[in-house]
Amino acid sequence: MHTDPAPLIARRHGPLKGRVRVPGDKSISHRALILGALAVGETPISGLLEGEDVLNTARAVRALGASVERRGAGEWRIRGVGVGGFAEPAAALDFGNAGTGCRLMLGAVAGCPITATFDGDASLRRRPMQRVLDPLQRIGARTLAATDGRLPLTLAGARDPVPIVFEPPVPSAQVKSAVLLAGLSAPGETVVIEAEATRDHTEKMLVHFGADLRIGPQGAVGRRIALVGQPELMPRPVAVPADPSSAAFPLVAALITPGSEVILDGVMMNALRTGLIATLGEMGAAIERLATRNEGGEEVADLRVQAGQLRGVEVPGSRAPSMIDEYPVLAVAAAFAEGTTVMRGLRELRVKESDRLAGIAALLRANGVEVDVDGDDLIVRGRGRAAGGGLVATHMDHRIAMAALVTGLASDKPVRIDDSSFIATSFPGFVELMRGLGADLS
At how many degrees (to 10) do helices 99-110 and 52-63 cross? Answer: 20
| φ, ψ (nearest 5 deg) of residue 396 | 60, 30
- Three-state secondary structure call for residue 276: helix
CA-based nearest residue to 326, from 307, 302, 343: 343
N residues, the chain: 442
| φ, ψ (nearest 5 deg) of residue 357 | -65, -50
Pairing relationship of beta strands 115-119 and 93-94 according to DSSP bridges: parallel
Catalytic residue numbers, as ranges: 325
CA-based nearest residue to 52, from 414, 439, 427, 348: 427
Residues contacting 375, CB < 8 A, separation 6+: none
User: Sign (positive/negative) of CA torsion 233, 235, 239, 242?
Assistant: positive
Q: Where are the beta strands (DSSP E) in 296-435?
A: 298-306, 314-315, 338-343, 370-374, 377-383, 391-392, 415-417
Quickly list H helices, 307-429.
Answer: 327-335, 356-366, 398-410
Residues contacting 372, CB < 8 A, separation 6+: 361, 378, 379
Contact call for residues 165 and 138 (beta carbons, < 8 A): no
Residue 223 neighbours by CB distance under 10 Å = 19
- Three-state secondary structure call for residue 435: helix
Q: Is 325 exposed, middle or buried (0-12, 13-18, 19+ CB in 10 A)?
A: buried
Contact call for residues 326 and 283 (beta carbons, < 8 A): no
CA-based nearest residue to 174, from 218, 142, 211, 128: 128
- Three-state secondary structure call for residue 263: strand
